[in-house]
């Protein structure tokens, strides 16, 4: 059906060109707002009427006649209705819709994916400082980043996942001091305990392992403790390695993997920060005032100029970000997406201003940002705010242990990133249709159960006679299968994995409706195999869509 759609679009373009040379570029199909009106809709006549100074309805009638005269429309289209001031509603023949079943079965896991486009994409996400366990906000970011990576992979991009963290800032010093105090026997509430210290039980765990001279290993580092409570630098390095290992465990539980971990400290040690600042100075985009170095960020749309180097000689936090993104560009990543919390909104303009001012060829609007809100967690009808382990917030691992990896991923992706979200733990563990992830997974498992009950050779369904798939529920299901590739492309373009969750819920509902309307394992062999082919194709698309979200497609539930 996808090939048929392209043939029909080509026919529409040809007809439009015959009415007005060059108008074929307007050829596009929309989905009718009311399904009963047709399968495809075109507003081309209405768009073309004004420049041609013609009545749109009469132009629509002319276009309709031109289309119905084409062999491709005669083969695949049952009728074209003219509605309103020039809408064309196109009705496909059942055999046109049936082709999607063959296309899905033939493509399998590749259905909906595009060939390699030769372009590289970097997605930077999670990027949590190694000062504590990952919280549910990091979980939302991990789900978003991983799903966006998967979406772009389906569109032919070579995707690189990167984790950036501050390993040398004030927070790391607080972590080291907090751990040292615990190692010395102090605890929260003692007179010696600083107000800014970290209070979670995990700090005591780090201190205990440091005193035991243990070795910790993370994806990007390994360190053995000295056990000396006066060795503050050793405590710092051990604590960072310990928490990087803990974050690795969190990410493994969430099935998220990174290609590279990038340290902020490396930007200083490699000279990249100094080089970026020098580029800005040499370009004449800075000035000195009150002992500080300022960037002329207002030249690039920022609401005010920004301090780069403070009077004490230290750099403000957006300066290493500029250096980091110059490094991304130099590494060949012409498209970069950063997944960050909404509290980073203020950094966007100044980072982009710095990149433009540096004059290294980076285009405007680089990088792209996806900002997400935090997540409220509700359990037993009450908001949960504190985890004993973390001391001040609910951790990602708490959420996974209370529910499941699949539920956490699907739920955190089920709303637009910038909308507030309340995670209902009780709903996430329910095994009924109110639980969206259960509803979708159950549709897949239900199909697998039907196929298992049949017990035949699934490969034989690729050649099934599909003529029996002519009922309204079957055709509605096939039309929805055909929308999957375009939905993926749109979701990738808009950084919108929530569109995938919406689609999967709609597809599951359509399947459940079809299952309730028509028996599948009937006595008539031809009808049975046609219906089995349709539901197998549906299971394949459910599987593919869930894989984009990083959610499993169980065969039994």
Flag whether pLDDT at 1 surpasses 80: no
Question: Which letter does DSSP use for residue 522 in this model?
Answer: -
Residue 129: its pLDDT value, please? 85
Residue 322: its pLDDT value, please? 97
User: pLDDT by residue (tens digit) across 400-419?
Assistant: 999 999 999 999 999 999 99
**Angstrom distances, CA of residue 190 to CA of 172, 203, 210, 471:** 22, 15, 21, 74
Q: Output the CATH code of domain 125-268+373-429.
A: 3.40.50.620
Q: Which CATH class is domain 2-92?
A: alpha beta
- Is-contact 540 104, C-beta < 8 A? yes
Flag whether pLDDT at 436 surpasses 80: yes
User: What is the band of 516 on the pLDDT scale with cuts at 50, 70, 90?
Assistant: very high
Residue 389: its pLDDT value, please? 58
Residue 31: its pLDDT value, please? 86
Residue 476: its pLDDT value, please? 93
- Of 164-168, 181-185, 309-313, 346-350, the one with minimum mean pLDDT is 164-168
Average pLDDT of span 137-161? 97
Q: Where are the domains of the chain?
A: 2-92, 125-268+373-429, 433-549
User: pLDDT by residue (tens digit) across 34-43?
Assistant: 878 889 999 9
Residue 392: its pLDDT value, please? 66
φ/ψ (deg, to 5) at 282: -65, -30
User: What is the band of 227 on the pLDDT scale with cuts at 50, 70, 90?
Assistant: very high
Residue 428: its pLDDT value, please? 97
Distance between CA atoms of residues 248 and 107, nearest Å? 35
Average pLDDT of span 441-446? 98
Residue 70: its pLDDT value, please? 96
Determine the distance from the C-alpha atom of residue 493 to the mean position of all C-alpha atoms in its chain, rounded to a whole number: 10
Residue 113: its pLDDT value, please? 97
Higher pLDDT, 132 or 309: 309
Q: Are strands 215-218 and 221-224 parallel, antiparallel or unpaired?
A: antiparallel
Residue 390: its pLDDT value, please? 58
Flag whether pLDDT at 283 surpasses 90: yes
Answer yes or no: same fold for 2-92 and 433-549: no
3-state secondary structure of 338: strand
The angle formed by the CA atoms of residues 156, 160 and 162, to the nearest 5 degrees, is: 155
φ/ψ (deg, to 5) at 233: -65, -40
User: Could you tell me what percent of the chain has a pLDDT over 70?
Assistant: 99
Flag whether pLDDT at 388 surpasses 80: no
Residue 512: its pLDDT value, please? 96
Q: Output the CATH code of domain 433-549.
A: 1.10.730.10
User: What is the band of 219 on the pLDDT scale with cuts at 50, 70, 90?
Assistant: confident
Average pLDDT of span 424-447? 97
Q: Look at the block and give the residue holding tokens 């799903």.
A: 147
Cis amide leading into 367 (omega within 30): yes
Residue 166: its pLDDT value, please? 83
User: What is the band of 468 on the pLDDT scale with cuts at 50, 70, 90?
Assistant: very high
Distance between CA atoms of residues 87 and 135, nearest Å? 51
């Amino acid at each position: 059906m996808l090939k048929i759609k392209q043939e029909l679009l080509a026919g529409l373009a040809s007809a439009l060109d015959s009415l007005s040379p060059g108008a074929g570029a307007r050829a596009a199909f929309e989905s009718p707002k009311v399904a009963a009106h047709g399968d495809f809709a075109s507003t081309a006549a209405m768009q073309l009427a004004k420049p041609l100074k013609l009545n749109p309805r009469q132009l629509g009638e002319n276009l309709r006649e031109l289309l119905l005269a084409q062999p491709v429309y005669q083969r695949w289209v049952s009728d074209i209705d003219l509605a309103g001031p020039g809408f064309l509603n196109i009705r496909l023949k059942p055999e046109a819709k049936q082709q999607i079943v063959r296309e899905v079965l033939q493509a399998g896991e590749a259905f909906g994916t595009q060939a390699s486009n030769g372009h590289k994409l970097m997605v930077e996400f999670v990027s949590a400082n190694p000062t504590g366990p990952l919280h549910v906000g990091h979980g939302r970011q991990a789900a978003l980043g991983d799903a966006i990576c998967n979406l772009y992979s389906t569109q032919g991009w070579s995707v690189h996942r990167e984790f950036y963290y501050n390993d040398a800032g004030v927070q790391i010093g607080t972590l080291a001091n907090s751990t040292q105090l615990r190692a010395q026997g102090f605890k929260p509430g003692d007179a010696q305990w600083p107000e800014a210290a970290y209070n979670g039980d995990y700090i005591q765990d780090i201190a205990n392992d440091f005193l035991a001279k243990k070795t910790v290993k993370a994806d990007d580092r390994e360190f053995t403790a000295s056990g000396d409570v006066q060795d503050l630098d050793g405590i710092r390095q051990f604590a960072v390695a310990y928490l990087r290992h803990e974050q690795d465990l969190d990410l493994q539980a969430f099935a998220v993997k990174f290609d590279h971990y990038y340290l902020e400290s490396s930007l200083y040690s490699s000279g990249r920060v100094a080089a970026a600042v020098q580029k800005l100075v040499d370009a004449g985009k800075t000035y000195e005032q009150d002992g500080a170095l300022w960037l002329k960020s207002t030249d690039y749309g920022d609401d005010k100029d920004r301090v780069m180097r403070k009077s004490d000689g230290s750099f403000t936090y957006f300066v290493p970000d500029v250096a980091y993104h110059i490094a991304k560009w130099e590494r060949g990543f012409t498209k970069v997406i950063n997944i960050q919390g909404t509290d980073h909104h203020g950094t966007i303009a100044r980072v982009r201003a710095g990149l433009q001012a540096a004059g290294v060829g980076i285009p405007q609007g680089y990088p792209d940002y996806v900002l997400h809100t935090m997540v409220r967690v509700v359990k037993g009808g009450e908001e949960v705010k504190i985890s004993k382990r973390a001391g001040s917030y609910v951790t990602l691992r708490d959420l996974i242990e209370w529910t499941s990896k699949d539920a956490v991923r699907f739920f955190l992706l089920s709303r637009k990133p910038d909308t507030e979200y309340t995670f209902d733990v009780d709903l996430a563990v329910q095994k009924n249709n109110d639980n969206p992830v259960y509803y979708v997974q159950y549709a897949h498992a239900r199909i697998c159960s039907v196929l298992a009950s049949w017990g035949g050779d699934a490969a034989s369904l690729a050649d099934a006679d599909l003529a029996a798939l002519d009922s309204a529920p079957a055709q509605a299901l096939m039309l929805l299968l055909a929308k999957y590739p375009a939905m993926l492309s749109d979701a990738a373009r808009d950084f919108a994995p929530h569109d995938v969750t919406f689609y999967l819920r709609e597809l599951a509902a359509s399947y459940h409706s079809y299952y309730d309307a028509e028996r599948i394992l009937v006595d008539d062999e031809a009808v049975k195999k046609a219906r089995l082919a349709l539901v197998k194709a549906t299971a394949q698309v459910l599987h593919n869509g869930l894989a984009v979200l990083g959610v499993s497609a169980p065969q039994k539930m």
